[in-house]
Amino acid sequence: MVLRGEPGVGKSALLDALAAKGTGCQFGIECETELASAGLQQLCQPSMARIARLPRAAA
């Protein structure tokens, strides 16, 4: 199945809801090439909660 739509219509929210239900489905995400750095954001999102624990940059 391919899920397509304009940015912001809820594609990711739909996939998140399906994954939370434990349907046993596996999902692959094709980067939204129209959005700059969308793939990078998706890759980094799980680590964003831990960003505050990173050491400060040396000046």
Give the Cα separation of 59 and 16 in Å (integer): 40
Q: What is the pLDDT of residue 1?
A: 67
Q: How confident is the model at residue 48 (pLDDT cuts 50, 70, 90)?
A: confident
Q: Where are the alpha helices (DSSP H) in the chain?
A: 11-20, 38-44
pLDDT tens digit sequence for 12-41: 888 788 778 776 666 666 655 566 676 677
Residue 12 burial (10 A CB sphere; 0-12, 13-18, 19+): middle
